Chains A and B, each alone.
Chain A
Amino acid sequence: NAGVTQTPKFQVLKTGQSMTLQCAQDMNHNSMYWYRQDPGMGLRLIYYSASEGTTDKGEVPNGYNVSRLNKREFSLRLESAAPSQTSVYFCASTLQETDTQYFGPGTRLTVL
C-alpha cells in the first residue's frame, strides 16, 4: 500500500495563478482532510470530507475549494493564489472519524 500520496511535492506560483493539489489514498478510508502548516501557527484544517460526496469547511477555508472526486481522491484548488497561501499542505485520511489520521508527505507551495 502506498498510503496517502500527494502531488506535486513542490510548486511555485505567481499571485493570481490557479492550481489544484491532488491527494489519493489506497486504504479504503472514508474520511479525508486538507491541512496547512505554517511556522508559528501549527497545522490548521482547511476542508474535510467525512465520506464520498460530502465536504465541509474547516478552520481556514477562505481562498480554497475542494472536490471529493471518489472515495480515493480529494483535491484542493486555489482559484487565485495569494502570497498568504504560501505554506506546506498536508492531506490526511482515516477509516472512521474516531480513528488515527494518516498523513501524506506534503506539498510545499510558494506564491510570489
Chain B
Amino acid sequence: KQEVTQIPAALSVPEGENLVLNCSFTDSAIYNLQWFRQDPGKGLTSLLLIQSSQREQTSGRLNASLDKSSGRSTLYIAASQPGDSATYLCAVSRTSNTGKLIFGQGTTLQVKP
C-alpha cells in the first residue's frame, strides 16, 4: 500500500531564507507527483506537477525534484516571503493513473517577517 510522508509537520523560518520541504513515498511505481499549497480554510492550489519520467520542475521561486528510485521528492523555496506561509502537500498518483491521488499530511510553513 502506497504511503506518503512529509517531514517536518511544521516549519518556521525568518523571511529571506531558502528552504526545503521533504516528501517520501513507499512505492516507487508512481505515475506522477504533485505539490499543492493550502491556505487556512481554503482549497488546494496546484504548484508543480512532475511526471515520473522527469527529474524536476520549476516555477518562479519554486523548484521540485523527484527521485523515484529512492522514493523522495523535495520542494525548494528560494528567498521565502511571509506570503509563502501555508500548508504544503505532496501527492502521488498510482501507476495506472486513474488520477487517484495519495496525499501526505502536509508541512505547515510559517515565514516570519
Contact = CB atoms under 8 A, between A and B. Distances in A.
Q: Do A and B truly interact?
A: yes
Contact of B97 (A42, A48, A98): A98
Interface in B5-42: 31-32, 34, 36, 41-42
A105 B39 CA distance: 10
A97 B101 contact: no
Interface in A30-46: 31, 33, 40-45
A56 B99 CA distance: 12
5 contacts: A42-B4, A42-B89, A45-B100, A98-B31, A101-B101
Contact of B105 (A42, A48, A56): A42
B46 to A, nearest CB: 4
Interface residues on B, range: 20 to 34
A64 interface: no
A100 B91 CA distance: 11
Interface string B96-108: 0111110111100
Nearest to B49: A100
Contact of A97 (B46, B89, B99): B99
